[in-house]
Amino acid sequence: MALPNGDRRGNAVSVTHALVLASGNAGKLREFGQLLKSLGLSVRPQAEFGVDDVEETGLTFVENALLKAREASRVSGLPALADDSGLEVDALQGQPGIYSARYAGEPKSDARNNAKLLEALADVPREERSARYWCVLVYLRHADDPVPIIVQRSWEGEILEQPRGEGGFGYDPLFWLPEQGRSVAELAAEEKNRLSHRGRALEALVATLDEERQR
């Protein structure tokens, strides 16, 4: 199965890519835009096709990503890529997890989510603030695709006691990278894309699609 209209090295990429990105999150859309452009691919956000956010009723990232991809593919009639992601905090027994976007309730708010996380960890010492981001990507060739491509990657870090940096989105100002000596919000966009759960998951997904095309 080929990626429509071109390949990851940008060979023979023509017009707009016939692939829908099943997300309404501006931060994710920005990162996917940068990542896919660097691979010679471009995609169209689901909003262009009038796809509404689906109810994320799954109990796993995989289930939620499938729900999102299936709906976007059904409405648009195109192959779809969906991302379900979140933050797993050890001291909170894995919360907020699949509920990361709506941790502080509706409407979704990064600021309120971060405030709630700081509050929940107020009494937790530094050495017990380990956490990781998860990103699950699902690629459906069509809405009824019985063999979706599924890739998951994590990114280890620690939750800070106060926010640092202005970049990224979501929990990035609170997500500390000990090896970098910086929060994710202090990384340049290209650095985040190279290191992140999402960047590495997408790289693996594209490699799988490449292999499939060469078969």
Residue of the chain from 13, 35, 87, 101 that contacts Mg ion (CB under 5 A): 101
Does 50 show up as a binding residue in the annotation?
no
Contact status: 81 vs Mg ion (CB under 5 A) = no
Position 16: which residue type? T
Within 10 Å of residue 143's Cβ, how many Cβ atoms?
A: 17
Minimum CB distance to Mg ion, residue 149 (Å): 20
Q: Residues for the chain: how many in total?
A: 215
Minimum CB distance to ligand ITT, residue 11 (Å): 29
Element (H, E) at 116: helix 110-120
> DSSP state, 50?
T
Contact status: 203 vs ligand ITT (CB under 6 A) = no
Which lies closer to ligand ITT via its Cβ, residue 194 or residue 210? Answer: 194
Minimum CB distance to ligand ITT, residue 203 (Å): 15
Give rounded-to-5 percent helix, strand, coil for the chain: 40, 20, 40
Does 83 show up as a binding residue in the annotation?
no
User: Which residue of the chain is nearest Mg ion when measured via CB?
Assistant: 101
DSSP H helices in 19-85? 26-38, 61-76
Residue from 206, 207, 185 nearest 196 by CA: 185
Catalytic residue positions, numbered: 84
Contact residues: ligand ITT, CB under 6 A? 23-25, 28, 53, 56, 68, 83-87, 100-101, 113, 133, 168-172, 196, 198
